[in-house]
Amino acid sequence: MDLQALIYVEGEWNPSLFCQDGEVKLPIYKILAEAAKKTEKDTLLNRSMIAADTVGEQEEAAALQGKKQYGESISQELQHNILHALRKRSVQTREVLLIAATDRTVQIAKELGIAVAGYVNPLFPGQTFAGVPMVIEGFEEVDVEFLDRIYRRCHGLPWTIAETERCLVREMTLDDLDDLILLYEKPGISWRLDEKGQRIPGFIEPLYPREEEKAYQEAYISNMYGYYGYGMWAVVDHESGKLIGRAGLEHREYDSEVELELGYLIDPQFQHQGIATEICQAILKFAGENLDFPRINALTDPQNLASAALLQRLGFVFLEETLVTGSPMQRYTFVTVQP
């Protein structure tokens, strides 16, 4: 499912606000809203009636009831106009993003299963945009990719973070859970063998039991991705379509300040092929272009020489020896903003 078009209600938004190099790269359809104009006039009239000293309680109640019924009829008419416009163009409701400047339009979009982005239009003050994943104040820096991400968030679809020659980096979904569990069960991930062949903890913390991990991932997808727009992502092999790792950016507190930390793991079968370098370079590029953090941290076990070598290839610089939950770790940093 992909974003096919933008729609807006007449009077709430202007397509001229959104263009790239003078060319709009998505079809944009206007929804007629003659009735919506009447609604605004009707609302002002009812407010005047209710505020008048001569209006009694019965007249006030009648005015409010009339306003409610009229508003419902307007909503129904606008729903009809939206469906008619999409049907006329052979476009499905789940294929469009509606730019809405009023709570009424937001509610209609939700009722029709249409993805919606809020737009702060000074002609419609006092809107709450409740439940809208993103509210746009200006379109100067908005592009199709940004709108597509709003669309995907509305429909619970994972964002694509980066594509490399061999891999796709995207948000995790609950459909990845079984593959994730299999990945973590492989030797060299959450466990490894010592020189005597004894099983010892690996360099990566293990997952929770399945049901706990499912609940954790569900909350993580909703909160971390939904609120921050980043986190630990899935690494998918282009050729096979299989999950072959995880990599991404997490929060960690250093000296009472929250900073970003790079994390990564690759399926042992795909290690020593330069994939970790390829993926992490793409993630660092994403951070530099999209996130407002001056540097990125990375922690590695002193015994994990391969990880330290990778960080140095990526341009990280050793900063200090530190303790994390009582375990000695080496801290490296990468500057995202050059002086």
Equal CATH topology for 5-154 and 160-335: no
Q: Which CATH architecture fits 160-335?
A: 3-Layer(aba) Sandwich (3.40)
pLDDT the model gives residue 193: 58
Q: Which of 200, 169, 205 is nearest to 184 (CA)?
A: 205
Q: What is the mean pLDDT of residues 186-201?
A: 70
Using one digit for the tens of pLDDT, what is the confidence trace for 226-244? 889 999 999 999 999 999 9
Q: What is the mean pLDDT of residues 285-305?
A: 93
Q: Which residues contact 187 (CB under 8 A, 6 or more apart)?
A: 193, 268
For residue 100, what pLDDT band results from cuts at 50, 70 and 90?
A: very high
pLDDT the model gives residue 45: 43
Q: Which of 159, 109, 119, 115 is nearest to 139 (CA)?
A: 119
> Within a 13 Å sphere around the CA of 339, how many CA atoms are in the beta-carbon half?
0
Whether pLDDT at 220 is above 70: yes
Residue pair 162/286 in contact by the 8 Å Cβ criterion = yes
Q: What is the mean pLDDT of residues 20-35?
A: 74
Whether pLDDT at 46 is above 70: no
The domain limits of the chain are 5-154, 160-335
Using one digit for the tens of pLDDT, what is the confidence trace for 58-98? 555 544 454 454 455 678 899 999 999 999 999 999 999 99
Distance in angstroms (rounded) separating the CA atoms of residues 339 and 336: 10
Q: Which fold has domain 5-154?
A: Rossmann fold (3.40.50)
Long-range contacts formed by 209-216: CB under 8 A, 24+ apart: 210/177, 210/181, 213/177, 213/180, 213/181, 214/174, 214/177
Q: What is the pTM of this model?
A: 0.78
Residue pair 284/334 in contact by the 8 Å Cβ criterion = yes
> 275-290 and 305-314 are packed helices; what angle lies between their axes, rounded to 10 degrees?
50
The Cβ of residue 220 has, within 10 Å, a number of other Cβ atoms equal to 16
For residue 205, what pLDDT band results from cuts at 50, 70 and 90?
A: confident
Distance in angstroms (rounded) separating the CA atoms of residues 270 and 268: 5
Distance in angstroms (rounded) separating the CA atoms of residues 217 and 221: 6
Q: What percent of the chain has pLDDT over 90?
A: 66
